[in-house]
A and B are shown apart, each in its own frame.
Chain A
Amino acid sequence: MQEVVLDLEFIIGHYNYWLFVILMMTGLYITVSRGNLIKKVVGLNLFQTSVFMLYISMGKIEGGTAPILTGDPNTVYSNPLPHVLILTAIVVGIATTALALALVVRIGEEFGSIEEDELIEIEHELDFAEESAEASPVPGQGDANKGEPGGK
Chain B
Amino acid sequence: MDHHSILRVVSKLLIPPIIVYALYVQWHGDFGPGGGFQAGVIFAVAFILYGLVFGVEAMTEVLPTSVIRVAMSLGVLIYAGTGFYALLVGHNFLDYESIGHGGHHAQEWGILLVELGVGITVASVMIGIFVAFASRTPKLKDEDW
Contact = CB atoms under 8 A, between A and B. Distances in A.
Do A and B touch, yes or no (CB under 8 Å, in the complex)? yes
Interface string B98-139: 000000000000000000000000100000010011001001
B129 A66 contact: no
Nearest to B118: A91
Dominant secondary structure at the B interface: helix
Contacts of B33: 66, 68
B133 A101 contact: yes
Taking chain A's interface residues, is the majority helix, strand, or loop, or is none over half, making it mixed?
helix
A87 B37 contact: yes
B129 A68 contact: no
A87 B37 CA distance: 8
B90 interface: no
B136 A105 contact: yes
Contacts of A150: 139
B37 A91 contact: yes
A109 B133 contact: no
Interface in A14-71: 66, 68
Contacts of A105: 133, 136
Contacts of B139: 108-109, 150
A102 B133 contact: yes
A98 interface: yes
A98 to B, nearest CB: 5
Contacts of A68: 32-33
A102 B128 CA distance: 12
Contacts of B129: 98
A150 B136 CA distance: 11
A5 to B, nearest CB: 43
A102 B37 contact: no
A120 to B, nearest CB: 21
Given A87-B37, A109-B139, A150-B139, 12 more contacts: A66-B33, A68-B32, A68-B33, A91-B37, A91-B122, A98-B129, A101-B133, A102-B132, A102-B133, A105-B133, A105-B136, A108-B139
15 contacts: A66-B33, A68-B32, A68-B33, A87-B37, A91-B37, A91-B122, A98-B129, A101-B133, A102-B132, A102-B133, A105-B133, A105-B136, A108-B139, A109-B139, A150-B139
Interface of A: 66, 68, 87, 91, 98, 101-102, 105, 108-109, 150
Closest 3 CB pairs of A and B: A98-B129, A87-B37, A109-B139
